Copies of this chain bind each other. A is one copy, B any other.
Amino acid sequence: MFEYEILAKEGRARTGIFHTPHGDLQTPVFAPVGTQATVKTLTPVHLEELGASLVLSNTYHLYLRPGDELVAAMGGLHNFMQWPKPMLTDSGGFQVFSLAQMRKIDDDGVTFKSHIDGSTHRFTPEKSIAIQENLGADIIMAFDECSDPNDRAYSQIAMDRTHRWAERSLDAKTRNDQALFGILQGGVDPELRAVSAAFIASLPFPGIAIGGLSVGESKDEMHAMLDVVTPLLPENKPRYLMGVGTPEDLINGVLRGIDIFDCVLPTRLARHHAAFSSEGRLNMMNASFARDPRPLDESCDCYTCRTFTRAYLRHLIMAKELLAGTLISIHNLRALIRLIEEIRSHISAGIFEKQAPVLLEKWSNNTQKSTKDD
């Protein structure tokens, strides 16, 4: 269990299989985010149809509501939300630092107030692992501290704490049917990142996550940090770039040796009426789509593109019909999953480095809004 089998390599890019109790994951893989035990507005049938294989859920949210003990009593997260394939939970650390109303950090853990009702709670590495064992995902995360990338002094403190918490997370773990991944930190400092990569790689984690990126630094800084850390990581463990990304981030990440991605972007954009397309990101409220008989993206094979016109999607949006969010979420998730499938096949064929500029060109208008957007 939790072996990572590399099937093909090209430069730093790899394609492989990560074995989990709920099935094999083909990497590189993009995981839709189901923060509260649901990928917003979609059923598990939608997710299976659009080719999702790994779904992420958030420990902080589920601990607060409905509670990890309740999820455990209902047979665990897979059973609770009826997702039969692999799942991943984060450690709750990132949300404590970004969502909680108040937080007080010490070397032992973090005390915080719930963003829902202001009640006081405390997470430690041991508590985070206990919660994640109750939730029962296939891949769980060590408890970490994500620092402001531009504050080097604090980045060092947070990194050191993350390292001690990584060891405590390993010690706290009791289930052997969950893969506990370590998380490396270090802000945007190459030296700290190298230290963190070496330290986390030295511990017996079956996979390694790169935290603290896509949190406000530039794309160039993110790429530079990946260029520092992935060469220091063992080949035979999957690498997970947390909370990333856009279509371009996926391409650039795989080029630098990343195997696993997750991001709320596809579903969040969908709820704000924005769709990925090969023409660039489309704002589906735009009046130019009012009588447009084409699908969102003529090259897409998703249910939305096989079934509905842009005119209909725009009508749903203008009429404030929630089905719009469902249909655009299906498309946006399928777009990223199709991209990652294409990347996998390019690596297998040994043509990814040649095709990457073509893919980047095709998707370049999707990171920023398209010109049709205002």
Cβ-defined contact, B323 with A40, below 8 A: yes
Instruction: Report which of B73, B74, B82, B314 forms a contact with A307, defined as CB distance below 8 A.
Output: B82
Within the complex, what minimum Cβ distance (angstroms) separates A339 from chain B?
A: 24
* Complex Cα–Cα for A191 and B32 (A): 63
The answer to whether A45 has its CB under 8 Å from any CB of chain B is: yes
* Complex Cα–Cα for A61 and B320 (A): 13
- In the complex, residue of chain B having the shortest beta-carbon distance to the beta carbon of A318: B65
The answer to whether A54 has its CB under 8 Å from any CB of chain B is: no
Cβ-defined contact, A322 with B37, below 8 A: no
- In the complex, residue of chain B having the shortest beta-carbon distance to the beta carbon of A39: B323
Interface centre among A38, A41, A73, A314, by most B CB within 10 Å?
A: A38
Instruction: Report which of B41, B65, B81 forms a contact with A326, defined as CB distance below 8 A.
Output: B41
Cβ-defined contact, B322 with A70, below 8 A: no
Cβ-defined contact, B303 with A66, below 8 A: no
Which residues between 282 and 338 of chain A lie within 8 Å of chain B, taking CB atoms?
290-291, 293, 303, 307-309, 311-312, 314-316, 318-319, 321-323, 325-327
Q: Report chain B residues within 8 Å CB of A316.
A: 36, 38
Cβ-defined contact, B326 with A66, below 8 A: no
The answer to whether A80 has its CB under 8 Å from any CB of chain B is: yes
Q: Report chain B residues within 8 Å CB of A307.
A: 44, 82
Cβ-defined contact, A290 with B70, below 8 A: yes
Count of chain copies: 2
Cβ-defined contact, B291 with A65, below 8 A: no
CB-CB under 8 A for A312 and B74, given A65-B319, A82-B307 = yes
* Complex Cα–Cα for A256 and B312 (A): 39
Which residues between 319 and 374 of chain A lie within 8 Å of chain B, taking CB atoms?
319, 321-323, 325-327
Instruction: Report which of B40, B61, B293, B315 forms a contact with A66, defined as CB distance below 8 A.
Output: B315
Q: Mark A236-249, 1 if CB is under 8 A from B, else 0.
A: 00000000000000
Q: Report chain B residues within 8 Å CB of A99.
A: none
Cβ-defined contact, A43 with B311, below 8 A: no
* Complex Cα–Cα for A40 and B66 (A): 26
* Complex Cα–Cα for A38 and B325 (A): 13
Within the complex, what minimum Cβ distance (angstroms) separates A132 from chain B?
A: 18
Q: Report chain B residues within 8 Å CB of A40.
A: 321-323
The answer to whether A232 has its CB under 8 Å from any CB of chain B is: no
- In the complex, residue of chain B having the shortest beta-carbon distance to the beta carbon of A44: B307
Given contacts A70-B290, A70-B291, A70-B311, 19 further A-B contacts (CB under 8 A): A36-B319, A38-B316, A38-B319, A38-B321, A41-B323, A41-B326, A43-B323, A65-B319, A66-B290, A66-B319, A74-B309, A74-B311, A74-B312, A80-B311, A82-B308, A82-B312, A322-B322, A322-B325, A326-B326
Shortest 3 CB-CB contacts between residues of A and residues of B: A36-B319, A66-B315, A38-B323
6 contacts between A and B (CB under 8 A): A37-B312, A38-B321, A41-B322, A43-B327, A82-B307, A326-B326
